Amino acid sequence: MRVCHVCNGHTADDSRVFHRTCCELAKAGYEVHLLARGNGTASYVEKGVMIHPLSESGSRMQRYTRASRVAQLAAELKPDLFHVHEPDLLGPVINRAGSQPVVYDVHESFLDMLAESTWLPMWGKPLARTAWDRWERRLVRRCAAVVTVTDTIAKRYSAIHPNVRVVANYPAWGNAGDLGCDVRDGRTCVIAGALNQDRGLSQAIEALAILSQRDLKVRLILAGPSVSNDYLKRLWDLAERLGVRQQVEYHGILSKEDALLFQKRADIGLVIYQPLLYCINSLPNKLVECMSLGLPVVFSNFPNYREIAEKSGAGIMVDPTKPEQIADAIESLVRDPDSARRMGEAGRAAVRDRFNWQVESIKLLDLYRQLIGVPGKGDGSIN
């Protein structure tokens, strides 16, 4: 049975799309194809998944205008099921899917993203939200199922569609649990992943300055793609003005495996996303990833984050807009290493027992079996 996962903006190395979803389906015996941004032009097989790389899109407009071409490429593969990971692809894929089922995978609430967007003028946001809401409702009713990452997002779609599944974006336990433990210095914080304004980077740097005033020097190590070089320069300028530039290190873009090892070497995970609607209603995989690595976390006081980290006793909750609260939390963990260790162990145990991909993948496979059945003889991973 052939299935096609369709992306336009996600990379071929994306954690949820490739490492979790596609690889899991390939292991289960489905013939999995993935269209996503990647290197080169020739298709290639990785971990049993046939990847069809797309070129980088120069702008948001270029990405939207090529959505129809990407959908056509997916249709030419003649899959038994289409799995769409981005809202701009939903209409074009549905229009080419014919009688084949389409699964819509909602990683984040696009309605919330429109409300917080910086590329839309303020006066245009209500109009854009209303237009997308009406258009999406019509499209979703033509889908075979909707997959979301949180119960919060699922509530909206459950009112539109009868077949909504929550498949959380938790890490695979083996990826984190098998890593060795490096010697730590007890005062290194880490933020890894996309580096942009909603991640609380400037607030973290301000917290470092507050701690320096208290005679406590703490490092902040960063890794991941930045929204722009100009944004990184503004961060370095802020750190320079506050006198903590030497305490902030940027290690560039790392592979998935290297990123896990990078975080493992730190002492405290900072998951201080800012109070934007799409951050509040989603759940960053970095929160659970840090927990899986045994790091105590300083996390934003949002309901979805509290449900995971606070109930597990995995860290300290803060108002992410207030650097002083962030500084207080970091200081508490640095000055009480036994408490920090207990929080790290509690978070790791929670991931091992509940918040892991092995638990979530069962829901995904159950949905596929419902829609297209179990792979039979002759089906399976691509060699």
Residue 383 lies in a domain: no
User: Chain-centre distance of CA 90, in angstroms?
Assistant: 20
Q: Are residues 94 and 139 in the same domain?
A: yes
Residue 378 lies in a domain: no
- Would you put residue 279 in left (φ > 0), alpha (ψ -120 to 50) or beta? alpha
Do residues 324 and 193 both lie within one domain? Answer: yes
3-state secondary structure of 173: helix
Report yes or no on 379 lying in a domain. no
Tens place of pLDDT per residue across the chain (383 aa): 999 999 998 999 998 999 999 999 999 999 999 999 998 889 999 999 999 999 887 666 677 789 999 999 999 999 999 999 999 999 999 999 999 999 999 998 777 776 677 667 787 778 877 887 898 999 999 999 999 999 999 999 999 999 999 999 998 876 555 555 555 788 999 999 889 999 999 999 999 999 999 999 999 999 999 878 899 999 999 999 999 999 999 999 998 889 889 999 999 999 999 999 888 988 888 999 999 999 999 999 999 999 999 999 999 999 999 999 999 999 999 999 999 999 999 999 999 999 999 999 999 999 999 999 998 755 665 65
| Helix axes of 201-213 and 229-241: crossing angle, nearest 10 degrees | 10
Bridge partner list, 102: 82
What DSSP state is assigned to residue 190? E
| 3-state secondary structure (DSSP) of residue 245 | helix
Q: Could you tell me if 21 and 158 lie in one domain?
A: yes
Question: How far apart are the C-alpha atoms of 108 and 128, rounded to whole Å?
Answer: 17
pLDDT by residue (tens digit) across 104-153?
999 987 777 766 776 677 877 788 778 878 989 999 999 999 999 999 99
Distance (Å, whole) CA 65 – CA 59: 10
Is residue 237 domain-shared with residue 293, that is, in the same domain?
Answer: yes
Alpha helices, DSSP H only, in 121-243? Answer: 125-140, 151-158, 173-177, 201-213, 229-241
- Clarify whether residues 18 and 116 are in a common domain: yes
Q: Does residue 157 sit in the same domain as residue 199? A: no
Helices 323-335 and 337-353 pack at an angle, to 10 degrees, of 100
Domain count for the chain, please give it. Answer: 2
Sheet with 102-106, edge to edge strand ranges: 44-46, 49-54, 31-37, 2-11, 81-84, 102-106, 145-148, 164-166
57 shares its domain with 41? yes
Same domain, 225 and 286: yes
Residue at 55 is within a domain:
yes
Determine the pLDDT at residue 187.
94
Does the residue 111 lie in any domain? yes
Between the alpha carbon of residue 33 and those of residues 3, 41, 147, 232, the distances in Å are 6, 15, 18, 35
Same domain, 219 and 333: yes
Task: Convert the pLDDT of each residue in 276-331 to its tens digit.
Answer: 988 898 888 899 999 999 999 999 999 999 999 999 999 999 999 999 999 999 99
**Distant-in-sequence contacts of 114-120, Cβ < 8 A, 24+ apart:** 115/277, 116/276, 116/277, 116/278, 119/60
Specify if 203 maps to a domain: yes
Cβ contacts of 34 within 8 Å, gap of 6 or more: 4, 5, 7, 12, 17, 18, 22, 49, 50, 51, 52
What is the domain range of residue 200?
Answer: 176-353
Same domain, 147 and 226: no
* Same structural domain, 78 and 26: yes
Asked whether the beta carbons of 71 and 112 are under 8 A apart, the reply is no
The 3-state DSSP class for residue 310 equals: helix
Does residue 380 sit within a domain? no
Structure tokens given for 183: 């010697």
Are 267 and 336 within one domain?
yes
C-alpha 71/C-alpha 380 separation (Å) is: 23
> The domain that contains 10 carries what CATH number?
3.40.50.2000
Residues 6 or more apart whose CB falls under 8 angstroms from that of 87 comprise: 106, 110, 132, 136
Instruction: Evaluate whether residue 49 is within a structural domain.
Output: yes
Pairing of strands 49-54, 31-37: parallel
**Which residues of 232-291 form beta strands (DSSP E)?**
248-250, 268-271
Q: What is the dihedral of CA 353, 354, 358, 359, to 10 degrees?
A: 130
Question: CA-CA distances (angstroms) from residue 286 to 32, 263, 270, 338?
Answer: 26, 10, 9, 23
